[in-house]
């Protein structure tokens, strides 16, 4: 696009970042530690920066390096993740640490193919580690970078198609400095920060933008273009509140997303009556209406069910909606009679 001015573009953006970039706990001096990049990037995938800060700091105190994470029991890992959601991310981090210890002598691999081969690592995370920790000219194209990369050249086709995402990736790749030039990590971080602070989704602050002279966006707030969203689907989830001798019955989930987490058992009895607690939570393009009904103490427990004393409940990993429902139930003294 603006090959002549590409160095000026990169320098302007990087200078702006050095003066305006946020101080974040995972933004240490270059080169950044790959484990710290890996943990922070995985946490940031579905979660806001403000929420991640506390989680990241607690995680790094608990699992300060790859060896500590690899050696931790899964229950501890899930518990440290509790509240961030999408628990497969925590399980994959744990499994990746174990692979690094087993196959790379505990040293984070530098090559893209080796990073990509770690459990749960996709194109975004591998590029983020490669560029932020090893200064490789590989753009980690996620929302903030994608938005800037669609607006600068005024790309007005959908970006959430194979062709659209290939185009955006190619555009962003063209802006990278050569490997021997160095500085790709900071440039990509600056691009991402521009999307977070200035080139924001609804009201981009173009008058304060360090690269406005290079920008061709018309009506930037309309970009990037997305395909029409699927309609939200309403789902009902009925669970049971069963308490016996001061212990609550829970069951462990086995599905791909929430495997290992505990939840209130499914309510299978007909004629449910009035729920003791209700709440609604989003799940991909679904809206789930969770209702908890009084249940009957079973004669035999299923293999995935277990009784927990009230004092144990805080220490076990649970999915966030079930934790919220449990808190509601526990705050009602009449339910203990
Ligand atoms: Fe984004 Fe506006 Fe800067 Fe263009 S000028 S990159 S639309 S903030």
Does the beta carbon of 206 sit less than 6 angstroms from any atom of ligand 1? yes
Q: Which atom of ligand 1 is nearest to the CA of 147?
A: 1
* Nearest ligand 1 atom to alpha carbon 212: 5
For a mutational test of ligand 1's pocket, the pick from 148, 168, 222, i.e. the residue with the most ligand atoms closer than 8 A to its C-beta, is 148
pLDDT at 193: 97
**Distance from the alpha carbon of residue 112 to the mean position of ligand 1, in angstroms:** 31
What does the pLDDT look like over 177-197, one tens digit per residue? 999 999 999 999 999 999 999
**CA of 215, closest atom in ligand 1:** 4
**Around Cβ 268, how many Cβ atoms within 10 Å?**
9
The SS3 assignment for 249 reads strand
Among protein residues, the one with the nearest Cα to ligand 1's atom 4 is 215
What's the CA-to-centroid distance between 119 and ligand 1, angstroms? 36
292: three-class secondary structure by DSSP = strand
Tokens 């050095």, residue located: 18
- Residue found under tokens 């939200």: 232
Q: What percent of the chain is predicted at pLDDT more than 90?
A: 84
- SS3 for 274? coil
Strands 243-244 and 286-294: unpaired
Q: Is the CB of 259 under 6 A from ligand 1?
A: no
What is the average pLDDT value for the chain, to the nearest integer?
93
In this prediction, residue 272 has a pLDDT band, given cuts at 50, 70 and 90, of low
pLDDT value, residue 258: 82
ω before 138 within 30° of 0 (cis)? no
pTM, 2 dp: 0.75
Cα(261)–Cα(247) distance, rounded to whole angstroms?
A: 18
Q: How far, in Å, CA of 106 to CA of 227, rounded?
A: 42
The DSSP 8-state label assigned to residue 337 in this structure reads -
Instruction: Report which of 255, 237, 252 is spatially closest to residue 307, judged by C-alpha positions.
Output: 252
Distance, CA of 194 to CA of 211 (rounded, Å):
9
Ordered structural domains, the chain, with CATH: 3-222 (1.10.340.30), 233-336 (3.90.79.10)
Catalytic residues: 41
Compute the average pLDDT of residues 63-90: 94
The residue assigned the tokens 């938005």 is 147
Q: Two tokens at 241?
A: 């509140």
Other CB atoms within a 10 A radius of the CB of residue 37 amount to 25
Decide: 220 in ligand 1 pocket, CB within 6 A: yes
C-alpha of residue 185 to centroid of ligand 1, in Å: 21
Tell me the C-alpha distance between 238 and 281, whole Å.
13
């Amino acid at each position: 696009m603006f090959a002549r001015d590409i160095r000026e573009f990169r320098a302007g953006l990087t200078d702006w970042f050095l003066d305006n970039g946020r101080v974040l706990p995972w933004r240490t001096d270059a080169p950044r530690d790959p484990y710290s990049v890996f943990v922070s990037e995985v946490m940031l995938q579905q979660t806001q920066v403000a929420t991640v800060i506390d989680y990241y700091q607690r995680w790094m105190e608990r699992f300060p390096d790859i060896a500590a994470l690899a050696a931790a029991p899964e229950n501890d890992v899930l518990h440290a993740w509790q509240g961030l959601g999408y628990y497969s991310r925590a399980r994959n981090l744990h499994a990746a640490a174990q692979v690094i210890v087993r196959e790379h002598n505990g040293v984070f691999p530098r090559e893209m193919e080796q990073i990509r081969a770690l459990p749960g690592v996709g194109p975004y995370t591998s590029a983020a580690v490669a560029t932020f920790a090893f200064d490789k000219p590989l753009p980690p194209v996620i929302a903030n970078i994608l938005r800037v990369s669609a607006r600068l050249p005024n790309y007005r086709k959908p970006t959430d198609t194979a062709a659209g995402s290939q185009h955006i990736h190619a555009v962003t790749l063209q802006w990278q400095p050569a490997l021997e030039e160095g500085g790709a990590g900071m440039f990509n971080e600056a691009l991402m920060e521009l999307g977070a602070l200035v080139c924001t989704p609804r009201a981009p602050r173009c008058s304060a933008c360090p690269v406005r002279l290079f920008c061709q966006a018309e009506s930037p707030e309309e970009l990037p273009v997305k395909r029409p969203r699927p309609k939200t689907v309403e789902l009902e989830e009925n669970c049971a509140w069963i308490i016996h001798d001061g212990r609550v019955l829970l069951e462990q989930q086995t599905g791909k997303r929430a495997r290992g987490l505990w939840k209130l058992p499914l309510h299978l009895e007909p004629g449910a009556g009035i729920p003791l607690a209700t709440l609604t939570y989003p799940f991909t393009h679904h809206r789930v209406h969770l209702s908890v009904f009084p249940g009957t103490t079973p004669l035999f427990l299923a293999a995935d069910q277990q009784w927990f004393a009230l004092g144990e409940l805080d220490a076990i990993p649970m999915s966030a909606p079930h934790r919220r429902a449990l808190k509601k139930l526990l705050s009602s003294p009449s339910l203990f009679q």
